[in-house]
Structure 1
Amino acid sequence: MGLLFEQIDSQSSVIGEITLRRRRIPAIGDRDIYEVKLGEEFLMSSMFVDAEIALSDLGLNAAKGDNLSVVVGGLGLGYTAVAALKHERVSELLVVEYLEPVIRWHQQELVPLGKEINADPCARYIHGSFFDLAVADPETGGFDPDAPGKQFDAILLDIDHSPRALLHDSSASFYTVENIGLMARQLKSGGIFAMWSNEGEDDEFMAVLRDGFIDVACHVVKFYNPFQNRESFNTVYVARKPG
């Protein structure tokens, strides 16, 4: 069966010590579970990935047209990115990640989905702050360093736990009418913004989205939680830029 626990790597990052671990819990199945911790806080786990996959599926199913150019904000363990690459209409995927060790784990294939992302010519890693790039002047910057001012068909965001439970205080200003509007300049007309959350529908954030978007919805994604022996849920916000 192999080791029940292994610390694969631990690195300092701009927001603290970040650690990649692998474990097995025989009581819930014979499979490897990958975990990422920031200090003593759990950031992500391959135990529960339904909503990370649904983020891509819900967002891209709402996108119109072919040859879609897509931004994923937050690489994590790669589930949102790989789910996006499985959509045949996606021709370009930029994965924006602030923490350089997370990118290296995928490039070195220390995590299972790194191999799939590395092998797909549509995918590129972008090392940078999603929140800074989102509000950059579109004439001189933006998500694609090779194409300032480029617009995308969809932007899929999975970084903070929710608009209120932030990974770092520096992202607090993003969840406002002003900065969501600045980000929307990098979407094509009719383009999709979708976002994962660990919490239920946030009325205040829904109002922010409705200020600048149409077809705004909050989808509940349910999954079984064996630790609690009950159903749990995450949510995915989806909104469309007018036009």
Structure 2
Amino acid sequence: MSSLFEEIDSQSSPLGQISLRRRRIPVLGDRDIYEVKLGDEFLMSSMFVDAEEALSTLGLAAVKGDSLSVVVGGLGLGYTAVAALKDERIDELLVVDALETVIGWHRDEHVPLGKILNADARNRYVLGSFFDLATAPGTGFDPNSPGKQFDAILLDIDHSPTEYLNPANASFYTTANLALMAEQLKPEGVFAMWSQNLPDADFEALLKTVFTRVESHVVAFDNPFQGGESTNSVYVCVKGGV
């Protein structure tokens, strides 16, 4: 293949054909850009990771205490997980992803951040549907510790609260199912979520039916393709105490 483009892997998945590609864009400098596509849709690019990293930094900034246990929903290219591990308070990080292919890219270090995640003993991959595990507090996210509670749950799977990677995910965004997920948070635990869109007032109102405090953050980043800034958002929610 051209030195400017390589398809590293492409496999079928329950959601369709998923592929990992690496490209270089000379005008953007001497660096590899990694991309994930699902069918013809771009899911993620290593060019735009500011908001994925902010999901961890903003979410964990709202967490009190030490010796933290944290869940990341959605592995992607690993940026949210690696940003979380920079917080020295974390004792364990569970990264939940429904696609074995994506976990394999990291375990086999086909993506740059796989090496960092594999080398950190605090990190553990969990193969499973985040949404199924989130709404089953009796079993929960940790297959080794059913019913365990966590200090923070950081979610980056759907494009937004109204635009879904899988139409089946829509049922998660209800008071009942968000409350089931919140059962897996310790008192004053934090739920944070990424969205590609600006904050949505209706979703903020929904979050307030479950969480004591809800804040929305706009994350701006340079987008050379659009000749200016783009924005994503991060919702940060705190569960009530005992």
**TM bin (shorter chain):** over 0.9
Match of 2:187 in 1: 189
TM-score by length of 2: 0.98
Match of 2:155 in 1: 157
Q: For residues 70-125 of structure 1, what are the alpha-carbon distances to aligned partners after superposition, in whole Å with 9 as ceiling and x for unaligned?
A: 00000000000000001000010000001110000000000000000000000000
Match of 2:198 in 1: 200
User: Shift of the alpha carbon at 1:215?
Assistant: 2.0
Q: For residues 154-193 of structure 1, what are the alpha-carbon distances to aligned partners after superposition, in whole Å with 9 as ceiling and x for unaligned?
A: 0000000001111010100111111101100000000000
Q: Whole-Å Cα distance in 2 between the matches of residues 163 and 190 of structure 1?
A: 23
Q: Whole-Å Cα distance in 2 between the matches of residues 200 and 221 of structure 1?
A: 9
Structure 2 regions of 5+ residues with no counterpart?
A: none
Q: Whole-Å Cα distance in 2 between the matches of residues 134 and 33 of structure 1?
A: 32
Helix, strand or coil for the counterpart of 1:212?
A: coil
Residue 129 (structure 2) pairs with residue 126 (structure 1) = no
Q: Whole-Å Cα distance in 2 between the matches of residues 65 and 86 of structure 1?
A: 16
Q: Whole-Å Cα distance in 2 between the matches of residues 44 and 213 of structure 1?
A: 29
Code of the aligned partner of 1:63: V
Superposed counterparts of 1:88-167, under 5 Å: 88-136=88-136, 138-139=137-138, 141-167=139-165
Helix, strand or coil for the counterpart of 1:133?
A: helix
User: Shift of the alpha carbon at 1:203?
Assistant: 1.1
Superposed counterparts of 1:45-60, under 5 Å: 45-60=45-60
Code of the aligned partner of 1:183: M
CA RMSD of aligned residues (A): 0.7
Q: Whole-Å Cα distance in 2 between the matches of residues 231 and 29 of structure 1?
A: 19
Q: Whole-Å Cα distance in 2 between the matches of residues 199 and 89 of structure 1?
A: 30
Code of the aligned partner of 1:134: A
Helix, strand or coil for the counterpart of 2:121?
A: coil
Code of the aligned partner of 1:126: V
Match of 2:83 in 1: 83
Match of 1:214 in 2: 212
Residue 169 (structure 2) pairs with residue 177 (structure 1) = no
Give the fraction of aligned pairs with identical amino acids, expressed as a percent: 68
Code of the aligned partner of 1:7: E
Residue 14 (structure 2) pairs with residue 14 (structure 1) = yes
Between the two proteins, the alignment pairs up a number of residues equal to 240
Code of the aligned partner of 1:241: K
Q: Whole-Å Cα distance in 1 between the matches of residues 65 and 208 of structure 2?
A: 23
Match of 2:26 in 1: 26
User: Shift of the alpha carbon at 1:214?
Assistant: 1.8
Superposed counterparts of 1:67-78, under 5 Å: 67-78=67-78
Match of 1:239 in 2: 237
Q: For residues 115-157 of structure 1, what are the alpha-carbon distances to aligned partners after superposition, in whole Å with 9 as ceiling and x for unaligned?
A: 0000000000000000000001x33x10001100100000000
